Amino acid sequence: MAGKISSEPLPEGAQRIIGRDAMRLNIAIGYAIAQIVKTTLGPKGMDKMLVSDLGDIIITNDGATILEEMNVEHPTAKLMVEIAKTQDKEVGDGTTTSVVIAGNLLKNAGQLLDKNIHPTTIIKGFELAEAKAQEELEKIGEDVTPDDSETLKRIAMVAMGSKGIGSDKEKELIADIVVKAVKQVSEKRDGKYYVDLDLVKIEKKAGGEVADTRLVNGIVIDKEVVHAGMPKKIKNAKIALIDAALEVEKTETDAKINITAPEQLEAFLRQEEEMLKKMVEKIKKAGANVVFVQKGIDDVAQHYLAKAGILAVRRVKKSDMEKLSRATGARIASSLDDLSEKDLGEAEIVEERKVGGEAMVFVENCKDPKSVTIFVRGGTEHVVNEVERAIKDALGSVASTLEVGKYVAGGGSVEIELAKRLRDYAVEVGGREQLAVEAFADALESIPTTLAENAGMDAIDTLVELRSKHSKENGIYFGVDVGNGKVSDMKELGVLEPLKVKRQAISSAVETARLVLRIDDIISAKGTSKKENESNELD
């Protein structure tokens, strides 16, 4: 059989796409991903049903969740997933916005490539446009402080706007909970606010309805009290957190104990019991009436704790122990020997309650908790999961508003305003980069256009009307009022968004466009399988 001589230095079956073809393919895929999530944008956005290999179903319109669960294969598609993840991690909201802008930047770049404009020129134009957009964004942004609860509540409601989690009344209730939670865990350092969202625990249980969701000024632990004889409720709790096992340590090495008489066995067991009793005595002496243990609690120790009227919970997660410490003011003791009264935390009430058929321990009404719990309820598992995603978006939005201290009007108004200012700026830039700056402005306008489409409005008429409003003196806040299907003043309607969400969405989108446009060669070394090669040889 005569062999084929190839000038290609790649293994057989490897694929290579060169130059413009590679760029066109990447652009098409990037834009296709944007088209998938585009229909979920805004309060009137539609949902996606995602079914995994195992048959698990997720119904959501959260951009990051959709892209993560979609299991994309192509490398460019994976880059688009990356920006959604970054957006989600950094600000917790605006994932769909960043992907839609990135997709449209790529599409517009494709049109410029067809006009024989070099990718480097396009990238330079995009970078100039991004710098200008960020600068203008700072000017458009308005200041907000933690005392301005109404504005923060509005921002939380807009973040949840696209999630189908019930009526406006329920959204308002959850927005209120979110604002209180963020304010409770925020810290002021050097005149700036810092919010660690890990300190807001989200505990969920299907059952009840969304309106039953509430803020617990303390921590909810998904565990039960270890012994039936223990009190199920303790008021004015003194809480000990122990990072050690209330068990007699067994030796790691193989040890033999020779017992020759029944009395010796009895003495041995009695000594073990005595050791456990002493452990409980130490807890009692410190003045604790509630104990959370990160490891196990021996049956005998449980008995003595119950006798002493101490409520105990075992195998509590490390993260929950840390949250309990922040909420109650307790110090986590790594051994019982150094447990003293000053290590104890306080809570007004610790109680085991049955929720949805399962026991949970509530540590409530702590004095000034630096960690709180949002206890989520909802009719079914799917509803609870979507409410959780909505709460995470809202938490991210409110936290990033406080950290930056600025917000902008929503409904696509800020994108239209930036596009207008970029078109004026493009003239100053001149040269071929001017076309890239204008393409950037067009990509920003894809947000209000998509909002209008998703609300069943005419996208072109809406865009023309918005441009006309923004060209007037005080038209800066005009955006797409999806509720009433017209163009309105977004600030008056209370549709507000964090400045940080827009800032991050624009920078993530440009980053992705830059990455994709620099690629002019795709070498895929996925060689054909052995079986295929064998069958080819047989042919």
With CA atoms as reference, report the closest residue to 514 among 130, 23, 126. 126
145 is catalytic: no
Helices (H) and strands (E) in the chain, counts: 18, 21
Tell me if residue 213 is catalytic. no
Sign for the pseudo-dihedral over CA of 176, 179, 182, 186: negative
User: Which of these is catalytic: 40, 60, 76, 96?
Assistant: 96
Query: Is-catalytic flag, 393?
Result: yes
* Given 65, 76, 86, 95, the catalytic residue: 95
CA distance 491 to 158: 12
Active-site pick, 60, 62, 320, 450: 62
Distance CA 514, CA 516 (A): 6
Q: How far is CA 472 from CA 135, 205, 361, 429, in A?
A: 21, 51, 58, 24
Question: What's phi and psi for 235, nearest 5 deg?
Answer: -95, 155
Residue listed under structure tokens 């069943």: 456
Of 105, 157, 152, 84, the closest CA to residue 411 belongs to: 157
Q: Is the dihedral of CA 148, 149, 153, 156 positive or negative?
A: positive
Catalytic, 96? Answer: yes
Distance separating alpha carbons of residues 464 and 455, to the nearest angstrom: 17
In what side-by-side order are the strands of the sheet with 406-409?
Answer: 142-143, 406-409, 496-498
Residues with a known catalytic role? 62, 95-96, 393
